[in-house]
Structure formats: C-alpha cells, structure tokens
C-alpha cells in the first residue's frame, strides 16, 4: 500500500472487485487487478463490453466512472509459486496442453482458481499447474476466507469422482 490514504482506500474498494467502467460512450464489465493512481487508469480482466463482446484483459486510461457490481468476490493476482495444493486433494495435477497454451498466450488460465488466504488451492489445481508450466509468475485467483473444515468440505465437493 502507498502512504496516500485516498489511494489506499481506492485500492481496497476496487482491487479484486467486479466492476462496470464507463469511458466516453463505452461500458466495460470485468475484475479489477490494479489501479494506477498516477495515470488515473485501471487494469481489468475477463472483460466484456456492454454489448457482450469478450475482450479478455484491458487497460483503461482515465475511466469516467468505476462502479463496484459484486463486492463479495475478491480476485487477486498471486505469485504462482506461493499457491499450494490442499492436503486433502488427491489426484493428478497434469493440465491439458490446451490450458497450458492458453496460459502462455493469454497470461491467464481463463478462469479464477479458488484459494484460501494462505494460498492453499481449493479448486483449480490443474489451472495453477498449467500456469506454472507456461512460465507465469502470477495468476489471478479468487480468494476466500474459510475455516479448515469448510475448506475440506469445499475440496471434497469440487473434486467428487463420478
């Protein structure tokens, strides 16, 4: 965090949130990764326009309005090497080649793996492995605050064998 209280509040309010950004006549919906205070800019991931066009990641310089739409989800870009498998998760971590190629090409697996505050992976083990294989240093993840028991239950639900 910076030493500027306004910038700190702006970061806490927007980073990891799903937002609607209006710039001139265009509307964008996406997840905020970073706010560049000096340039008055924002970096969004998983972006769609108001017309539904999928854009991926977008840098928006001097947005007119930024509105938080779903503050309950927290998306953060975390170092891949700090994300660890949940101890109850059993199985192969071999990602599909297609996911590895997408990670390399897009610098993102295409969705947000779910992790605990401490970096323990709840769901998305193969996506994180694909990101590592592709050489990504960081990857956006959904961070959730759950107890050990809740985490075990979520891992079991996410990895049920049919």
Look at residue 162 and tell me whether its pLDDT is greater than 70.
Answer: no
pLDDT above 70 covers what percent of the chain? 96
Residues 80 and 154 in one domain: yes
CATH of the domain at 56: 2.30.30.100
Residues 90 and 152 in one domain: yes
Q: Give the predicted TM-score (pTM) of the model.
A: 0.59
Look at residue 121 and tell me whether its pLDDT is greater than 80.
Answer: yes
Residues 63 and 95 in one domain: no
Q: How many domains does the chain have?
A: 2
Contact 112, 75 (CB under 8 A): yes
Domain that holds residue 94: 75-158
**pLDDT tens for each residue of 66-86:** 988 865 678 888 999 999 999
Residues 152 and 103 in one domain: yes
48-76 mean pLDDT:
85
Using the 3D structure, point to which of 70, 91, 126 is the last residue of a domain: 70
Q: What does the alpha-carbon distance between residue 25 and residue 153 come to, in Å, rounded to a whole number? A: 45
């Amino acid at each position: 965090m910076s030493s500027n209280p306004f910038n700190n509040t702006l970061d806490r309010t927007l980073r990891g949130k799903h937002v609607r950004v209006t710039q001139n006549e265009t509307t964008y919906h996406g997840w905020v990764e970073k706010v560049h205070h000096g340039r008055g800019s924002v970096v969004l991931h998983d972006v769609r326009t108001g017309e539904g066009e999928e854009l991926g990641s977008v840098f928006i310089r001097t947005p007119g309005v930024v509105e938080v739409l779903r503050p309950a989800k927290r998306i953060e870009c975390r170092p891949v090497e700090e994300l660890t498998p949940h101890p109850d998760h059993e199985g192969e971590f071999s990602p599909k080649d297609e996911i590895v190629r997408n990670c390399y090409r897009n610098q993102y697996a295409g969705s947000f793996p779910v992790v605990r505050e401490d970096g323990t992976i709840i769901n998305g083990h193969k996506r994180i492995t694909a990101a590592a294989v592709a050489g990504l240093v960081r990857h956006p993840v959904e961070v959730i605050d759950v107890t050990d028991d809740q985490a075990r239950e979520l891992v079991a639900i996410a990895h049920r064998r049919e």
